[in-house]
Structure 1
Amino acid sequence: MPELPEVETVKRTLNELITGKTIQKVSVHLPRIVQHPEDPGLFAAMLESRTFRSVERRGKFLRLLTDDLVLVSHLRMEGRYGLYASDEPVEKHTHVIFHFTDGTELRYKDVRQFGTMHLFALGEEFTRAPLHKLGLEPLDEQTFTLEVFRRLLSGRTTKIKPLLLNQEVVVGIGNIYVDESLFTAGIHPEREASSLKPAEVKRLHQAIVETLSSAVAAGGSSVKSYVNGQGEMGMFQQELKVYGRKGLPCERCGTPIIRTVVGGRGTHTCPKCQKDKSRA
């Protein structure tokens, strides 16, 4: 599933591709992609003659803004957008097409068919599902401060990895970047959040920000099928220290990376660099 860096990259490329384009009509070939309104015909009619003004991100969700409406889109496992000329063949698994007045089309393709689209009046989206319960944005310097992060962990007996994956706590980090951040901070994924010492909290806060920032700069991680809105792969997978490296030597100490399951998610750690001090 695309995580924050990948969705941020898609957001940036879509801004380059569709800002200022006016929708002539919308074709919905898989109605269940459209979650709100329930009638996909109404969804299409509401967007006719609207112009995309910008594309924003909230957590792992895209927000495609017109003057008075906002399309909230979640890519789920393999959803992707691409801009095409109207005379180009439509690929299999293309479920929604935004036909523009300039002869181009924004096409949404989703092999797994798990993606969703919600259309709201601009501003309403923050009071309704799926955005209304989302937590802190980890790349927002104004809200994701060390002090706020420290308070967020205080008193919580939840294991640190599942807590960081909870989108109602912190948004967008995802499995790849939780593993990478915990490794960088030298923290075992099964530590209780409240057991972290002040220095560890500071290291983890910094590791989250630096890991996500580096991943955004690299265009995300193309671990599976992810590409951005221009069909380009991310490159951060070349910088991964633990994720997907089971059995390979840790770049710090040479100990083989291990894979376990924490909170139902595959988890990669270095058993030497990330000792579980709560079990010592």
Structure 2
Amino acid sequence: MPELPEVETVVRTLEHQLGNVTIKDCHVLWDNIIAYPTPQTFCAQIKGKTIQHYERYGKYLLFDLGSMMWIAHMRMEGKFYIQKSDEPYDKHVHVLFDLQDGRQLRYHDTRKFGKMYLYEKRKDIHQYPCFQNIGLDAFDERLTPTYLYHALHKRKIVLKAALLDQSVIAGIGNIYADEICFALGMHPETKIYHLRKKDFERLLQETRRILQGAIRYGGTTIRSYTSSLGVDGRFQLKLKVHAKKGEKCPVCQGEIKKITVATRGTCYCPTCQRKR
């Protein structure tokens, strides 16, 4: 699933490639992709709108259309293609946006898990129904060590589950949760209530450092985008432990192990990451 850095790369790539383009028409080929309003109303309301600004919140893409906000969540396999309208497309393309400049923005989703929303513009992002259970973005200035301490220190969950909880920090997924646990030197099954206030300072520092680094690595894809690949934000990551089962730990040279934590496959170093 695209996580915060990948979604940031998608947003910036689309911004660079499309700019302030006007949507001439819209065609929905799989109704369930449109979560709100109805597919018919979605197409009618987005038609004629110009994308004025591109944003990201957690794992969501936001397209500011002036009086309205178009929000997209790519979920597991979603990606965007920018192609000529007469180019063929396969059965996994579910939404087509005809653009004023003659190109077509296509939403491709093999598993059909992605969702799109179209709302009238609101002042606060949490006034949009799709964000009612979403916490603060990882780079939101309101997300502080004190905020995290009060939100988590009494909960009976483990560290990795806390990092994956989108109602607390929006944007972290399985890849970066593993990397953050490793950077903290903490076993992913460490009970979150064992963390002290200063631990939450490090947690936030390492979270932002790792996410910013991943965004930098992904930035090179923005200008090298080709329509045949689609925009999904994935890039070659410099990972320390995630998906490295059986390989050597870059710190101690011990063997990286894989277990299941919070129902997710989890890689960690038993030597460098100890439980509390």
Asked if these proteins are the same fold (TM beyond 0.5), I'd say yes
Query: Shift in Å at residue 83 of structure 1?
Result: 1.1
In structure 2, the CA distance between the partners of 1:35 and 1:198, relative to structure 1 (3 Å rule), is closer
Report the counterpart of residue 31 of structure 1 in structure 2. 31
Output the amino acid matched with 2:35: Q
Relative distance call for 1:63 and 1:184 in structure 2 (3 A) is same
**Whole-angstrom CA distance in 2 between matches of 1:262 and 1:161:** 7
Secondary structure of the structure 1 residue equivalent to 2:130: coil
Instruction: Quote the residue 2:224 is aligned against.
Output: none
Q: 1:276 maps to what in 2?
A: 275
Task: Give CA deviations for 1:131-183 in whole Å, capped at 9, x if unaligned.
Answer: 1221121122x212233233333222211111111110111111110110010
Aligned residue for 1:187, secondary structure, equals: coil
Task: Tell whether 2:23 aligns with 1:19.
Answer: no
Quick one: distance in 2 between partners of 1:21 and 1:122? 19
Match of 2:245 in 1: 246
Q: Which has the higher contact order (CA 8 A, sep 6+)?
A: 2
After the TM superposition, which residues 127-276 of structure 1 pair with which residues of structure 2 at under 5 Å, given as runs?
127-140=127-140, 142-219=141-218, 230=231, 233-236=234-237, 239-276=238-275
One-letter code of the match for 2:184?
A
* Structure 1 unmatched runs, 5+: none
Matching residue's letter, 2:180 = S
Conservation of the 8 A alpha-carbon contact between 2:160 and 2:188: yes
**8 Å Cα contact 1:248-1:257 kept in structure 2:** yes
Q: Does the 8 Å contact 2:145/2:197 carry over to 1?
A: no
**Please, what is the CA RMSD of the aligned residues?**
2.0
CA distance in 1, matches of 2:131, 2:231: 26
Please tell me whether residue 118 in structure 1 is matched to residue 117 in structure 2. yes
Amino acid at match of 1:167: Q
User: Letter of the aligned partner of 2:5 in structure 1?
Assistant: P
Does the 8 Å contact 2:186/2:274 carry over to 1?
yes
Question: How big is the shift at 1:44?
Answer: 0.6
Q: Percent same amino acid among aligned pairs?
A: 38
User: Which deviations, in whole Å up to 9, do the C-alpha atoms of 1:4-33 show, x marking residues without a partner?
Assistant: 110111011111122311111101111111
1:17-55 Cα offsets, whole Å, 9 max, x none, are 2231111110111111111112x1221111111111112
**C-alpha distance in 1, partners of 2:216/2:207?**
14
2:156–2:192 contact (8 Å) kept in structure 1: yes
Question: Do the aligned residues in 1 keep the contact of 2:22 with 2:48 (CA within 8 Å)?
Answer: yes
Runs of 4+ in 1 over 6 A off after TM superposition: none
Contact 2:241 2:269 in 1 (8 A): yes
Q: Assess if the C-alpha contact under 8 Å between 2:7 and 2:232 holds in 1.
A: no
Secondary structure of the equivalent of 1:155? Answer: coil
Does residue 7 of the first structure (1) align with residue 7 of the second (2)? Answer: yes
Displacement of 1:103: 0.4
Superposition deviation, residue 91 in structure 1: 3.2
Map 1:86-101 onto structure 2 (within 5 A): 86-101=85-100
Residue aligned with 1:218, SS:
helix
Q: 1:230 to 1:169 in 2, by over 3 A?
A: closer
The residue type equivalent to 1:169 in the other structure is V
Name structure 2 gaps, 5 residues minimum.
222-227
2: distance between equivalents of 1:68 and 1:165? 33
SS in 2 for 1:130: helix
Using a 3 Å threshold, how does the CA distance of structure 1 residues 50 and 255 change in structure 2: closer, same or farther? same
Asked if 2 retains the 8 angstrom alpha-carbon contact of 1:187 and 1:200, the reply is no
TM-fit CA distance, 1:276: 1.1
Report if the CA contact (8 A) 2:6-2:234 is conserved: no
Which range is displaced more, 81-90 or 205-214? 81-90
TM-score by length of structure 2 reads 0.91
The 1:230–1:111 alpha-carbon spacing in structure 2 relative to 1, beyond 3 Å, is closer
Distance 1:59 1:129 in 2: 15
Match of 1:58 in 2: 57
* Contact 1:175–1:265 (CA under 8 A) maintained in structure 2: yes
Partner of 1:84: 83
Q: How many residues align?
A: 268
TM-aligned CA deviation for residue 254 of structure 1: 1.0
